A and B are shown apart, each in its own frame.
Chain A
Amino acid sequence: MRTFIIRRLFATILSVIAATMIVFGISRAAGDPLLLYAKPGGYGVSPEQIEALEKKLGLDMPLAFQYVRWLGQLLRGDLGRTLLTETPVTKVISEKLGATFQLGFAAWLLASIVGIPLGVLSATKRGSAFDYAGRGLALMGQALPSFWVGIMFILLFSVQLGLLPVGTRGDLTGFPLAWKNVKYFILPSVTLAWGAAAGYMRITRSAMLEVLDSEFIKLARAKGVATRPIVWKHAFKNALIPPLTVSSLLMAGFITGSVVTEQVFAWPGLGRLAVRAVEDNDFPIMTAAALIFVLVFVTLNFITDLLYAVIDPRIRYS
């Protein structure tokens, strides 16, 4: 187990380093990196600022040194300042991080609550109309672009029916679970959760089918145990392993998925910040946002691996 953890940790760190190298490489691949931050002689840019920037980027040094230096600044939390407002990037990012995590968590909860029971029902009532309807829903979730689904939701529930707000997070005052606050979460989290719920459903369904086919279930049936305890007590517990282990992976999926969803619903999170950075050509913000997403993504992948190894010991030795 210990060697497994060390191995996975090593791979995780490797991924993070690879990500920083890719980001750094991209920034140096397009000719003069200075142009990403400021244009010499451009409006509102003093020669002193250019000089300071040149010094900060260390453009006179070899590339490898520049990279190490840049990495050192990253590690110290110095991500530079935004180009438009000149506020420190760390501050801007930390303001937005909470909203993204809230949305991701809501979507994760929703996907788990809907997807796993649906998978169980789909497996136990295999071949029924219910099974096909559930699988159809899952199929749509995988074939539809989430931003389109989000816009359709807005069109239906906000514009036509007027039931839910079009976007934003509201002001989040008072009791957190009051309808006033919750209603802002419904459409974005459903949009984000649909694809993941589909994933949960497929995995739970195939795990359930496999377990239901195993010997100990047959024994329980032969002993005359009723169907309901067989499904929910004997089979479900064992079928829960695969969906549990992918749950953190799906959470990682939300974090990237949020880039698109936040844009649709004007959600004040990190994803929307990243999209705005692309529009404004704000390189420091984009770099920081990408690296934070990488960090979360990679960490959750690591947790998934560990969970997997804890639950299923065969993995450790492969």
Chain B
Amino acid sequence: MATRTRAQFRRPTVSAALIFSLPKLGFYFFRRWPIISLIILGALLFFGIFAGAVSPYDPIKQDLRLRNAPPRFQDQAFYDEKSPDKRYLLGGDHVGRDVFSRIVHGARISLVLTSVALATGIVVGVALGLVSGYFGGLVDEIIMRLVDVWFALPFLLLAMVSVIVFGASFNLVLGLLALLAWSGFVRNVRAEVLSLKERDYVAIAKVAGAPYSRIIMRHLLPGVFNTVLVIASLRVGNLILAEASLSFVGAGIPSPTPAWGVMISEAREYVQTAWWTIVYPGIAILLVVMSLNFLGDWMRDRFDPRLRQID
């Protein structure tokens, strides 16, 4: 058996290597192997669709016995004494609502908001991009200047102005997110169309007498599909964050509705006594947005490597 000197025993090579390789491993699993992202997003989808069945309690009903109740696994004695029949998995918030049920219902809210906003954004953005790229000239100029102007405006502030005028509501947030979503598509779709329309098959379709509507719908639209898919997956995370920020500054979804941003905003004052009311919704946002970013990166590398930055 080989003898070791003390110095060899002391060198923390193994543990240090393990700690420093953790981020690397994380990247490896998330990116090369998007299954983890897919599992997280699948869970989001599942919770969102079956929110009523999955959540153990009513997300809106208050129970003052369980104000700021700790998570179940942390403090069994609290529940044995106060409410043996009702035990909150991730604790209760400042009016005794179940944090876990609210997160599950929040998944539904995020899902509805982002999918509707994104769908609207895609339709409008892609249509403008197609028209702008195909026709060029004055139409192109006007649309592109519109996009420029839109990019140069601070979205959050204008959203806050409209909230004062119209009052905060679910539909207003939906509209605002749709307004945020469209502009990202126009430029990239336009750039794609500019190169696609020079292809031979488009020229042949033109010679064959196809009207421009047919050329755009049948020949150009399928060509931009990959770009749209990639941008959409990269935008969703932004939309979720924007919704949360809007809710946080009081310009989002009105209060009893369990959206993640609303939960964090409401629980802010109780952070010292009930950290779980803030930490868990935040982790939910982090997991979802990070999964979306990884999945988007993966899809970009897969479907549209031209959009890739040097990596």
The residues of A with any CB-CB pair to B shorter than 8 Å are: 11-12, 14-15, 18-19, 22-23, 26-27, 29-30, 36, 129-130, 132-133, 135-136, 139-140, 142-148, 151-152, 154-155, 159, 202, 206, 209-210, 252, 255-256, 259-260, 263-264, 274-275, 277-279, 281-283, 286-287, 289-290, 293-294, 297-298, 301
Interfacial chain A residues near B166, Cβ < 8 Å: 26, 29-30
- Interface status of B196 (Cβ within 8 A of chain A): no
A-B pair number, CB within 8 angstroms: 160
Interface residue ranges of B1-48 to A (CB < 8 Å): 20-21, 23-24, 26-27
* Docked-complex contact B158 and A27, CB < 8 angstroms: no
**Which among B24, B241, B289, B310 is the interface contact of A129 at CB below 8 angstroms?**
B24
Report Cα–Cα, A285/B14, bound state, in Å. 59
* Docked-complex contact A290 and B161, CB < 8 angstroms: yes
* Docked-complex contact A206 and B310, CB < 8 angstroms: yes
Give 5 nearest A-B pairs by CB, closest first.
Answer: A129-B20, A148-B282, A290-B157, A136-B23, A132-B24
**Which among A18, A36, A294 is the interface contact of B154 at CB below 8 angstroms?**
A294
- Interface status of B111 (Cβ within 8 A of chain A): no
* Docked-complex contact A11 and B164, CB < 8 angstroms: no
Report Cα–Cα, A143/B264, bound state, in Å. 16
**Which among B164, B244, B290 is the interface contact of A139 at CB below 8 angstroms?**
B290
Interface membership of chain B positions 127-157, coded 1 if the CB is closer than 8 angstroms to chain A and 0 otherwise: 0000000000000000001001100111111
Q: What class of interface size applies to chain B in its complex with A?
A: 35 or more
Interfacial chain A residues near B245, Cβ < 8 Å: 145-147, 260
* Docked-complex contact B310 and A29, CB < 8 angstroms: no
Interfacial chain A residues near B264, Cβ < 8 Å: 145, 147-148, 151
Report Cα–Cα, A252/B157, bound state, in Å. 13
* Docked-complex contact B154 and A143, CB < 8 angstroms: no
Interfacial chain A residues near B67, Cβ < 8 Å: none
Interface membership of chain B positions 118-134, coded 1 if the CB is closer than 8 angstroms to chain A and 0 otherwise: 00000000000000000
Report Cα–Cα, A128/B87, bound state, in Å. 46
- Interface status of B229 (Cβ within 8 A of chain A): no
* Docked-complex contact A36 and B248, CB < 8 angstroms: no
* Docked-complex contact B156 and A256, CB < 8 angstroms: yes
- Across the interface, name the chain A residue whose C-beta is closest to B16: A129
